[in-house]
Amino acid sequence: MATVVALLGIASSSALAAARTDCQPQAIRDLERLSPAGHAVYLAMRDKKQFLTFLTCEDVQLGLSTAVHESVHILTEQLNAYPLIGGGSVPRQHMVSRFYPPREIANKFNQHDNYVQTYLRRGAASSADDLMYLLDELNAYSHDLASATKLVDLHKRDGQVDHRAGLAALMAFLMQYVDVARERKTPTWEGLQRTEVKSLIATLWRQAESILVGSLPIRGFGGETYLTRLCERRNGDALGELLGGSPMSASVCGAIATAASPASAVAK
């Protein structure tokens, strides 16, 4: 959603966006100081202009985290690998493109939800047709939330954008995808057991979970509906079987129960 909002912002106020690039030099210095992992994404970009296109000045926290997100997509294509937040990368596994299309899980979610519309609806993003791109989104949202969490001090306005909702949604989609695979998509379920595929999913999932946990102390970051779903034990059974351990640690779900309390809903 952060991406969609930013894109709409650029489309509808391109003159304004073009005029306001004055924040960018300071924003990059702030990124280096506050979010070295986000700054590493900036450094890795061969064409810095591609990063700066997404760095809007109305909300620098949102602009930077969106620029990191979109740049991760660009780097993933260039490297044919998912860049990781701690450095290094894991290769994409093209065989997962033959697995069943993620759009088949859309009916398990609220059809009006923005993330379902954007990432699972037929004819929407490539993630609706191909698990490889759903994993791409999971990784991009991990980087996005990792930076947004570190950049909270840059946020000058009241309230927060739902920075956590994107990652929580993509995690819920992957969890559901694996559940449906075990239930009725035997070729995909068998494919998921291949060592290189399993290891890729484990790496991206554990990274996502740790970033999600790191964001929990921040009020008003959103994603409550998806967080609750992630912590319903039976939803994670198949993914837990694949990973060889519970996909969400018990302490995390305790923290989520607290973060999802009405008090934080008001803060949003």
Query: Nearest distance from residue 170's CB to Zn ion, in Å?
Result: 9
Q: Where are the alpha helices (DSSP H) in 80-220?
A: 114-119, 131-150, 163-184, 186-192, 195-215
Taking CB under 5 A as the rule, does residue 140 contact Zn ion?
A: yes
* Tokens 């061969």, located at residue: 46
Q: Which residue is nearest to Zn ion (CB)?
A: 140
Q: How far apart are CA 205 and CA 225, in angstroms?
A: 19
Stretch that binds Zn ion, among 41-49, 60-68, 133-141, 223-231 (CB under 5 A): 133-141
Size of the site for Zn ion (CB under 5 A): 2
Cβ closest to Zn ion, residue 1 vs residue 213: 1
- How many angstroms separate the Cα of 42 from the Cα of each of 1, 51, 202? 21, 7, 26
8 A C-beta contact, residue 85 and residue 142: yes
Task: Please give the DSSP secondary-structure letter assigned to residue 81.
Answer: E
Cβ closest to Zn ion, residue 1 vs residue 243: 1
Cβ closest to Zn ion, residue 74 vs residue 152: 74
- Tokens standing for 38? 């986000």
Stretch that binds Zn ion, among 34-42, 129-137, 156-164, 171-179 (CB under 5 A): 129-137
| Pairing of β 81-83 and β 89-91 | antiparallel
Stretch that binds Zn ion, among 7-15, 130-138, 149-157, 165-173 (CB under 5 A): 130-138
Cβ closest to Zn ion, residue 30 vs residue 137: 137
Query: Nearest distance from residue 102's CB to Zn ion, in Å?
Result: 14
- Tokens standing for 10? 């650029």
Stretch that binds Zn ion, among 140-148, 150-158, 170-178, 213-221 (CB under 5 A): 140-148
Q: At what angle are helices 195-215 and 250-259 packed, to 10 degrees?
A: 40
Cβ closest to Zn ion, residue 135 vs residue 259: 135
Residues that bind Zn ion (CB under 5 A): 137, 140
